Amino acid sequence: MREISFTGLKQQYKEHRGEYNKIFDQVLENTDFIGAYNNQSICKTERAISDFISSRGSGDKLDICLCNSGTTSLYVLLMALGVGKGDEVILPDFNFIAALEAVLLLGANPVMVDVSPFSFMLDLEKAADAVTVKTKAVIYTDIFGRVFDPSQIDWFRSEIEKKNTSVFLVEDAAQSFGAYYRNKIGHVKVAGTYGDAAITSFYPVKPLGTAGEGGAVMSHDKKLIEKVRFIINHGAASKYNHQVLGFNGRLDVLKSEILRWNLQNVFVNDFDKREAVARLYDKLLSNYLASERFMFIGTCKVRSANAQYTLVLDDVLNRDAFIRELSQRYGIPCAVHYPASTLDVMLGIVPRNEIEYLSTKDNVTDKLCKSVFSLPIHAYLTVEDVLYICDSVNELYREFKNKKGL
């Protein structure tokens, strides 16, 4: 049986072991481990990320604050925006749990809204209907690495304005670092620049990863980022100069150094290689493609970061049995992003009488949770690997359909 790994992490660290060892040695030698306020390595990495996003085509210069995870980034961003008791925050129900955790931990009320059946991202029409005077923020996630058509976000903002209320738009770009949308006249909108602020994650297997946990808050609003920086430094501008309530949410220097090295030496190549794998999957698995990752509308296009390559299995077939067979018979590891809606997860972990929440009817999310599965996608898959995976998926799909008499 062919050996296929779900991620390319082992291969990446093996290939660049010499460089990573040098970075480790240097950081150990300097004993400059802590990424506190104005730390040189942290500032350098923040600038490198901002420059990269700007060079991706949008020219947008973001202010960036590195944090110790994507989850921390969401939490401190909402904290800096003043989200708290009695506020409502709108979230997509088909999502990783981090945004919901941040909302609940701050004592705010989550409003879980269904996703679009085409993009699997927040259904903006339903979200616009859900906005009330209590809504403090809307978080939309760039699921699996895709980004929105920016004109949809403009429309969404105008719908909110009609309600005479002010709402912070937060882009969760944890899965979409480097992704972009190019419109008909060639204007490019890059992940991280869509809302009033954005977060991303540098978890090792994210499009841009480090050797451990990591994340960032990004915004054009300098003052907001300055607030975030205070919060993650114990609310202090310098040692013991505490000014607001904060905690320790900083990124370590070691991770900052590896992150910057990965950005400057691995990221673009990996991004393009994942794209090549995704296009080959598209070609060979067209039967299963639930939605287009590459949307050509005239000359407009979405270029996904391909954090995941996710398929939707016909709902009459048993998804869990299908991926078990793929693993046991063919040695192809798969994952399910996500097996349950955030609403269902929340109801399983927080007593009902302790939370105030709202939820729209979740037809799409519930269907996706039962039918999605993600295939391996990374820069170290060979063409032969992808052909093997596609042949196996096709063979198993035919077998499952035959068994059902379809």
Task: Summarize as ranges the residues that interact with ligand PLP (CB under 6 A).
Answer: 69-71, 96, 98, 141, 172, 174-175, 201, 203, 213, 215
Residue nearest to ligand PLP as judged by C-beta position: 70
Q: How far is CA 230 from CA 237, 239, 251, 272, in A?
A: 6, 11, 14, 36
Least distance from ligand PLP to the Cβ atom of residue 220, Å: 21
Closer CB to ligand PLP, 4 or 217, in the complex:
217
Helices (H) and strands (E) in the chain, counts: 14, 13
Least distance from ligand PLP to the Cβ atom of residue 310, Å: 12
Closer CB to ligand PLP, 259 or 285, in the complex:
259
Closer CB to ligand PLP, 90 or 285, in the complex:
90
Least distance from ligand PLP to the Cβ atom of residue 96, Å: 4
Closer CB to ligand PLP, 216 or 278, in the complex:
216
Least distance from ligand PLP to the Cβ atom of residue 375, Å: 17
Q: Is 76 helix (H, G, I), strand (E, B) or coil?
A: helix
The pairing of strands 188-190 and 135-141 is unpaired
Q: What is the DSSP string of 290-304?
A: -S-SS--BTTBEEE-
| Chain Cα centroid distance, residue 286 | 25
Closer CB to ligand PLP, 50 or 72, in the complex:
72
Least distance from ligand PLP to the Cβ atom of residue 203, Å: 4
Least distance from ligand PLP to the Cβ atom of residue 170, Å: 11
Closer CB to ligand PLP, 71 or 233, in the complex:
71
**Spatial separation of the C-alpha atoms in residues 182 and 74, rounded to whole Å:** 27
Positive or negative: CA dihedral 344, 74, 293, 279 = negative
Q: Is 334 helix (H, G, I), strand (E, B) or coil?
A: coil
Q: What is the CA radius of gyration of the chain?
A: 21
Q: What is the DSSP string of 187-248?
A: -EEETT-SSSEEEEE--TTSSS-BSB--EEEEES-HHHHHHHHHHHBTTBSSTT-B-S---B
Least distance from ligand PLP to the Cβ atom of residue 308, Å: 9
Closer CB to ligand PLP, 200 or 392, in the complex:
200
Positive or negative: CA dihedral 218, 219, 222, 226 = negative
**Spatial separation of the C-alpha atoms in residues 393 and 401, rounded to whole Å:** 12
